[in-house]
Structure 1
Amino acid sequence: MSSTNSCRSSYIYSTKRKLEDYVSAVPEDDGAADYAAAVADLPSSSWASTSQSSSSSNYLLAHPSQLQFFVRMLSDNKTISIRACPCDTVKSVHEKIRKITGIPLREQRLIYLGKQLQWEKSLAQCAIENDASLQLVGRLRSTGHPKAWKIMEDVRSIIGRLYRGETVRYALQTIKTCLSEYVSKTPKNNFETAQEHLQIFISSLAPSALIMLYMSPIEDNMKIAEESIRHFLHLTKATLPKQYHSICVPTVMEFCNLLRGVPQCLPLYTSCRTCVSSLLKNIGHSHTSSSIDSVATLVLVKGILPFISEIADRFVPFNTESAVDLGILQSDVNDFSVFVSCIYNAIKEHPGFLGEISVALPRKASYYPNLVEVARDLYQIFDNMLLKMELCLNQIEEQLNSNSAGEGGMFHQQSSQYLAILKELNVMSGIYVGCKERFWAMMRLRKRPLCALILRYVKRTDDHWWLLERKDVIDLEAKRHMVMMMFPEVVDDFDEQNEILIDRSQLLTESFNYVSMVDPESLHGSLFVEFKNEEATGPGVEREWFYLVCQALFSQHNDLFIACPNDCSRFYPNPASKPDPLSLKYFKFAGRMIALALRHKVQVGIVLDRIFFRQLAGLEVDLEDIREADPCLYSSCRKILELDSEVIDSDALGLTFVREVEELGSRKVIDLLPGGANIAVNSKNREEYVHLLVKNQFVSSISEQVSHFKEGFVDILSSPRMLDYFFQSLDLEDLDLMLRGSTSDICVQAWRAHTEYIGYKETDLQIVWFWEIVETMTPKQKHELLFFWTSIKNIPVEGFCGLSSTLQICSSPAPITHLPTTHTCFYRLCLPVYPSMAVMLDRLLIVVQEHVVSSFGTW
């Protein structure tokens, strides 16, 4: 890094000296034409590679054959093809151009990679490659943009006077006005003309002149230069159409090249680099991106590689002894993301790209010769950063294992950027053979610290859905946290609160009217639920309402859903349900209710069958998926597939490609294929028969119902594009736990540990009797008691810790003849002071009966 800084400082010093000589030698009233001629002889670092001069002596050996390259004439936008030997001089090329175009030699200037080619040098010394693109420009008097040159001449004149120590009134205001006028005059309707216009900024050496002024020992000059540069950066982003941002990249990168490696210039350099990042964001989306030739693309990616490298160098593991934590910033990571994306796209879109690149990159590769060096350098950055990232995750895991530090001790400023860095490493890994597997293997080994980062840093505004590509690298808690970020945040805002007043006798109908008839946006607010003629209010009533509505909605009395034979709480849409407008509205209502329950973290005791879940996730349904939904059909199809070939080919089963269904009391035959009744099932087509049978019965027949359920579910998400992410991010078992909680037997010891007492002590007889009775209850009775107490039948996936507060047993002044009561909002069980364990047992066995539990509590 020190040698790079030395070269950069040496370059700046050399440029500065030549600019000083030029500024002092050129009179203020020089004409624009003479000024342009003089400028053309000054060095430009626009796109020049520092390695070109050192390797030019070996260039002939590497390019022994004749070259073919292209010369583009900016004056009339024409391109000509030139053939020459590497040993030919630039002057000989000028002669060929004169013969072809008739342009006099004195009017010609050849520009390659931003630098004018000197007549006496050979093409090899100038590093001209096959298929290179050169620009032919003339003297200024033939330019199509004289006003632009005049504006730049005015800027140059002011800078020259300031640098010589003269006092120029309103210097900053004048320079900024000139820059604004220059940018505003950019042609808006012609990309090529706009490119020529904006190129004048570099050709006039304005960036070098401004940097020279910025490095002046006069403090006021430095401030004027910095303000002027920042003003130009703002103009490029704010006033030019986005399709022209690609033209501005070389100009801003020129500022970066001149400032790089100079410590006192770091703030301004970082601003210029971030401006390059902002401009590059739009290149991929502009209609002009296709007009950028391969040479410009190569120059671009080589120009931004140093940006990626220096940001990667700033990323230092937190407690390494060799360096102090530099604290990589979010702006650094944002720039890094754009630059990586730019190179990734350049490699992937290269005409010779044939797939993932081997890590053992050859010195030359026939299918991407121009990008092999870039790919090699980028891989080195990827490799180093992956090792650093593994070290960082290991540090977090060690702290998690030691439990010596609180949660805050595991994280520091830089760790907030870890997930964003991992996202870019994931992108980079897709370029190289085997690196994607290596990346995810590291993530799998560091699953625990990765999940800790997700729980701490993933927010609703972030784009971290890539983490869900491999569900095996994150645990259920992290997955649940991420999918919950797909819902709008629940905010208790009275102004945006949805008040729902329900008559229990009209529970489903009134709930349907409330939820289905409102605008989806209004459902993104909080809920306030009350039952008519009841005093109870609060979260407990809300949880009860969710539970009761979902139970009623999925009840088989409505014929909307069918319960699986082996699990009556698992449902899928009824294939026999007629998809009339009203029933489809109820499916949409069901989608909204399930999504709302998930968003409000309410368990509704309803879970979805696999065939339903997979269709919501946009996945195929196969035979194994119908095992729970239709065990008989599953068993029959399995036998068909396992039968001996001779038996099934004998047509002993008499099967054809049809399906029989009962509709309105009569049998109906549905063809699985056109003319299916005439196609016999045999050993060769039986797999297709089973596939079509499953698809027809469990996909085609419920497609409308599933579609409307999706519509309702999407209404509650923050964005429609998140629907597939949501269901694909979870396994069915994960969603089961979120909707139903854990159905396993409740651990009484954990229950007691999360219970507090009001008016009782833990040693009181009533409390001792209570827990002894609970210990003797069946698993179902324990769940019913928990539901009576909290309106939650099953404990959350996180256990009792997942409840919003601890449970409470409160001493009740009610007579001992009364049953216990609850305040479900506060998870409070009010227990009278029963005189004996037998009396308490009698009362508790009454309240755990299902018909009692379904209408409970006071508030």
Structure 2
Amino acid sequence: MSSIIKTLIGGCFYGTTADHHSNHSPELKFNDTKTTSSELQFFVRMMWKCNTIVIHASREDTVESILQQISSKTKIPIEYQRLIYNGKQLQQQQSLSQCGIENDANLQLVGQLRSIVRSVVWNSTDDIVSMILKLCRGEPVIGASINFCKHFTKYMHNSFYVIKIMKIPSLLVALFKSPHASNASIADSSIRNFVKVCLDLKCKTLQSAYLEVLLEFCELLRGVGCKCDHPLYVCCRDGFVELLILVGGVLIKNPKMKVLLRGVFDCVREITDELLRFLDLSMNFPTKRGLSYKVVFDFVKFCCPLRMGFAKEQATSLNCDICYEEDPLFLGVPDQLHIVFIKSLSKMDECLQVMEDCLVNKKRGKGELDVLHNCYLIILKELFHISKFYSGAQEQFWGLFLRRKNVLPHMIVRYVKKPDDHWWLLENRIVTDFESRKHLVMMLFPDLKDKILGYEMLIDRSQVLAESFEYISRAMPKSLQGDLFMAFKNEKATGPGVLREWFVLVCQEIFNPRNALFVACPNDHRRFFPNTASMVNALHLKYFIFSGRIIALALKKKVRVGIVFDRVFFKQLAGNYIITLEDIRDADPIMYSSCKQILEMEADYIDSDALGLTFSIEVEELGHREVIELCPGGESLVVDSKNREKYVHLLIQSRFVTSISEQISHFAQGFADIISCSSLEFFQFLHHEDFDWMLHGSENDISVEDWKAHTKYHGYKENDRQISWFWKIVGRMPAEQKKVLLFFWTSVKHLPVEGFHGLNSRLLICKSHEPDNHLPSSHTCFYKLCFPPYSSIAIMQDRLGIITQEHISCSFGTR
């Protein structure tokens, strides 16, 4: 047959005869003798490569099975193959016997043009190849760059295999290295456009397919001498990792993705070397001059998809460590990532040592140095995630912060601005401090004041609980996440100072024992937990939702209300429902003492049933007594030395968990209405003492020296006699009177743990021009106290004594 068949040679279409059988490999032996054996050996010539592959098959095998063999050897899909024998195209359903194929027969494999669309794609790609070859030969091609870009944009969604077969990446890289003028620019723009089109693909299958092509570009550019900072190489590498993230990481169990694994690790190793150089420079030259922060983000980008793949593999494996040594594709790969982890962690240790020295010596820089430290957090976060895959790695990671205890809290408070990606910092709370934990959980409160209108309230002081309940309960949660505006009826004062006063007053009412919502601990009347008898109020569960909202809002506005939660309450808000004997020490000292005695009694005494205890308790609710069994059949189960621990445990669970579970769940619901996550998450990341300090504030007496150091003057000077008298009078006041004065002045009932330094501004004393008989006045919103230049210390003391009476300081003279 002398008909002309279009075949691929070197990526271009050329004419050739179908019966041209030369150029077989020299080791192949031919036998013209026909055989009747069912086993066949024949040869398939790949026309575009001018080489031959050997096929072993049976006469009964179909052409389709032969195409599948060829596909497994050449990676060419069946739909792109045509087998020609004796000038005829073989049909897939035919057997080899039906096709008349004999031993040592010679077949030709050519490109398949099965549809008009494929024909257009092949022809267009053939034109692209021809243009590239012309350019490489130094021949001018008008509009080559535009044509390349148009082709990729139009046909890449259905031309993956054509691009692979015709070796487009190799040709473009060859064009890039061509010595002819302007070829490098044409290739550069074409490769960049290719990368862009890949990233615009929406089909996951195509995204996965083109990952291999982008990695091939990286390897080809690396092979022709492009360094890791070459702009075109960086473009291809960035495109590769972006597409990898879109695909969802390296899926270890997907055979098609396995081939990418080593390529990804090559990039990680390459970027890690850049990162280590970056960190060295950051220690020696702590400014951003000459340093590119891109390498930090590249490190995260490449490690992230690897971690995602490893995590998916780990989730389906009984072994928590990575171990793929049985697969040659993975041989040594996990160890390489582990080495990356160890090297990077060691370098970070050096960096944090330098940073710690700066802090200790008070030589910490500002501005540009801050940016570097923020990069440290990004790197540390990635190393934290990698540490989860290796035995002992997490201990190494957290050990770094135990050695550098001052550094991590400093970085958290100074550089963490968004809550989304920093919860890893709280997985080991021992390496943080109160300030850093508070900083992180406070970011859970959404700041929508610029997006929604504020919520307004007008409250009657005499009905502060009932009216506040109506306003807060009927509000949609989102409306409470912006600003709050409130005023007391028949009073002109408004602003933050009035809001702080309202929080204190409403919390005093919520936790007032006569309202039966909460019970105070007998030995610490600041400490509360839910009242089991709260159902005396038919709306008690709605009041617990309201209480949760109020406490969350107070925390958000940084108002310390002088209330603390008992441990049995806090633990359950944090999701821990196992209450121990030590947990109830403050909540019920009598029960604590009784249970302790039961556990410490002699076994013989308690076995004698001298106590007369069974696994049941008698409770009184709304005037009715009821027996509650602590376990099935508990009323008839006697407490003895063998089961007394179980009895104490069930008794505590009944008293402090089961009986108040509804109240706590409704309080948590109200709290969650104000924050951007569940209340559980908020409380889990705090120590109990942290929450006490946030809600109550400092338990220390007010320091007059600290007060004085954080006060400035307007109209007065620090050495004026009125100012000297004022501080002398304040210094002689009892602790409670100082608190009342501070509240009158600022509406701050309790100082933060940091003292006056923790307030959002300094205090101000202003001179007013009224006569001696006028009382001092205050602008609590601005922490401003005004008084006239009293003529004597006695007059000043009298006036200050009047405004520091508890019932006056809440309203009189404030603005």
TM over 0.5: yes
Structure 2 partner of 1:742: 698
In 1, distance between residues paired with 2:687 and 2:142? 70
Q: Does 1:256 align with 2:218?
A: yes
Partner amino acid for 2:272? A
Instruction: Give the alignment partner of residue 584 of structure 1, picking from 527, 531, 541.
Output: 541
Write the mapping of 1:594-673 to structure 2, written as runs, cut at 5 A.
594-623=551-580, 624-673=582-631
Structure 2 partner of 1:307: 267
Structure 1 partner of 2:464: 507
In 2, distance between residues paired with 1:420 and 1:807? 38
Write the mapping of 1:473-484 to structure 2, written as runs, cut at 5 A.
473-484=431-442
Q: Structure 1, residues 10-63: CA drift from partner, whole Å, max 9, x if none?
A: xxxxxxxxxxxxx998595437999xx9xxx9xxxxxxxxxxxxxxxxxxxxxx
Instruction: Give the alignment partner of residue 175 of structure 1, picking from 148, 157, 165.
Output: 148
Q: Does 1:281 align with 2:242?
A: no
Q: 1:649 to 1:253 in 2, by over 3 A?
A: farther
Structure 1 partner of 2:85: none
Q: Does 1:769 align with 2:725?
A: yes
Q: 1:158 to 1:514 in 2, by over 3 A?
A: farther
Is the 8 Å Cα contact of residues 465 and 506 (structure 2) preserved in structure 1? yes
Partner amino acid for 1:458? V
Structure 2 partner of 1:341: 307
In 1, distance between residues paired with 2:162 and 2:11? 21
In 2, distance between residues paired with 1:466 and 1:389? 17
- Normalising by the residue count of structure 1, what TM-score does the alignment of the two structures yield? 0.78
Aligned residues: 739
Q: 1:322 to 1:415 in 2, by over 3 A?
A: closer
- SS state at 2:586 partner: coil
Q: Shift of residue 743 of structure 1?
A: 1.6
Q: Does 1:522 align with 2:482?
A: no
In 2, distance between residues paired with 1:852 and 1:619? 43
Is the 8 Å Cα contact of residues 822 and 858 (structure 1) preserved in structure 2? yes
Q: Shift of residue 754 of structure 1?
A: 0.7
Partner amino acid for 1:640? I
Q: 1:100 to 1:781 in 2, by over 3 A?
A: farther
Bigger mean CA offset, 235-244 vs 481-490: 235-244
Write the mapping of 1:278-427 to structure 2, written as runs, cut at 5 A.
278-284=242-248, 292-293=254-255, 296-315=256-275, 316-317=278-279, 318-319=281-282, 326-329=291-294, 331-342=297-308, 344-345=310-311, 348=314, 351=317, 354-356=319-321, 371-408=330-367, 411-427=369-385
In 1, distance between residues paired with 2:565 and 2:684? 14
Is the 8 Å Cα contact of residues 325 and 332 (structure 2) preserved in structure 1? no
In 2, distance between residues paired with 1:33 and 1:384? 60
Q: 1:544 to 1:104 in 2, by over 3 A?
A: closer
In 1, distance between residues paired with 2:490 and 2:772? 27
In 2, distance between residues paired with 1:110 and 1:579? 79
Q: Shift of residue 264 of structure 1?
A: 8.5
Q: Structure 1, residues 80-131: CA drift from partner, whole Å, max 9, x if none?
A: xxxxxxxxxx999943699977779899546579799xxxxxxxxxxxxxxx
Partner amino acid for 2:589? P
- SS state at 2:184 partner: helix
Partner amino acid for 1:450? L
Structure 1 partner of 2:707: 751
Q: 1:269 to 1:654 in 2, by over 3 A?
A: farther
In 1, distance between residues paired with 2:186 and 2:564? 67
Instruction: Give the alignment partner of residue 30 of structure 1, picking from 14, 20, 31.
Output: 14
Q: CA RMSD in A?
A: 3.6
Is the 8 Å Cα contact of residues 304 and 339 (structure 1) preserved in structure 2? no
Structure whose CA Rg is larger: 2
Q: Does 1:686 align with 2:644?
A: yes
Partner amino acid for 2:304? V
Q: Structure 1, residues 796-836: CA drift from partner, whole Å, max 9, x if none?
A: 12321221211122223334334322111111122333333
In 1, distance between residues paired with 2:11 and 2:502? 86
Is the 8 Å Cα contact of residues 711 and 763 (structure 2) preserved in structure 1? yes
In 2, distance between residues paired with 1:264 and 1:492? 44
Q: Shift of residue 461 of structure 1?
A: 5.7
Is the 8 Å Cα contact of residues 758 and 810 (structure 1) preserved in structure 2? yes
Q: Structure 1, residues 682-711: CA drift from partner, whole Å, max 9, x if none?
A: 223222222222222222222222222222
Is the 8 Å Cα contact of residues 778 and 813 (structure 2) preserved in structure 1? yes
In 1, distance between residues paired with 2:197 and 2:506? 58
Is the 8 Å Cα contact of residues 370 and 415 (structure 2) preserved in structure 1? no
Q: 1:243 to 1:852 in 2, by over 3 A?
A: farther
Is the 8 Å Cα contact of residues 32 and 140 (structure 1) preserved in structure 2? no
Structure 2 partner of 1:19: none
In 1, distance between residues paired with 2:74 and 2:559? 63
- Normalising by the residue count of structure 2, what TM-score does the alignment of the two structures yield? 0.82
Structure 1 partner of 2:501: 544
Bigger mean CA offset, 682-691 vs 597-606: 682-691
Q: Shift of residue 372 of structure 1?
A: 4.8
- Show structure 1 runs of 5+ residues with no match: 1-22, 42-89, 117-136, 186-196
Write the mapping of 1:52-451 to structure 2, written as runs, cut at 5 A.
94-95=55-56, 109=70, 139-141=109-111, 146-147=118-119, 149-185=122-158, 198-218=160-180, 220-242=182-204, 244-260=206-222, 262-263=226-227, 266-284=230-248, 292-293=254-255, 296-315=256-275, 316-317=278-279, 318-319=281-282, 326-329=291-294, 331-342=297-308, 344-345=310-311, 348=314, 351=317, 354-356=319-321, 371-408=330-367, 411-451=369-409
Bigger mean CA offset, 322-331 vs 613-622: 322-331
Is the 8 Å Cα contact of residues 228 and 270 (structure 2) preserved in structure 1? no
Q: 1:532 to 1:107 in 2, by over 3 A?
A: closer
In 2, distance between residues paired with 1:339 and 1:385? 18
Is the 8 Å Cα contact of residues 95 and 105 (structure 1) preserved in structure 2? no
Bigger mean CA offset, 197-206 vs 847-856: 197-206
Q: Shift of residue 665 of structure 1?
A: 1.1
Q: Shift of residue 349 of structure 1?
A: 5.1
In 1, distance between residues paired with 2:262 and 2:635? 65
Q: Structure 1, residues 738-759: CA drift from partner, whole Å, max 9, x if none?
A: 1121021111111111111222
Q: Shift of residue 856 of structure 1?
A: 4.1
Structure 2 partner of 1:843: 799
Bigger mean CA offset, 91-100 vs 545-554: 91-100
Bigger mean CA offset, 501-510 vs 781-790: 501-510
Q: Shift of residue 625 of structure 1?
A: 1.8
Structure 2 partner of 1:487: 445
In 2, distance between residues paired with 1:33 and 1:700? 89
Bigger mean CA offset, 139-148 vs 163-172: 139-148
Is the 8 Å Cα contact of residues 211 and 258 (structure 1) preserved in structure 2? yes
Structure 2 partner of 1:790: 746
Is the 8 Å Cα contact of residues 301 and 343 (structure 1) preserved in structure 2? no
Q: Shift of residue 255 of structure 1?
A: 1.6
Is the 8 Å Cα contact of residues 198 and 207 (structure 2) preserved in structure 1? yes
In 2, distance between residues paired with 1:820 and 1:726? 41
In 2, distance between residues paired with 1:174 and 1:138? 32
- SS state at 2:673 partner: helix
Structure 1 partner of 2:96: none
Is the 8 Å Cα contact of residues 710 and 763 (structure 2) preserved in structure 1? yes
Q: Does 1:824 align with 2:780?
A: yes
Bigger mean CA offset, 754-763 vs 338-347: 338-347
Partner amino acid for 2:566? D
- SS state at 2:406 partner: helix
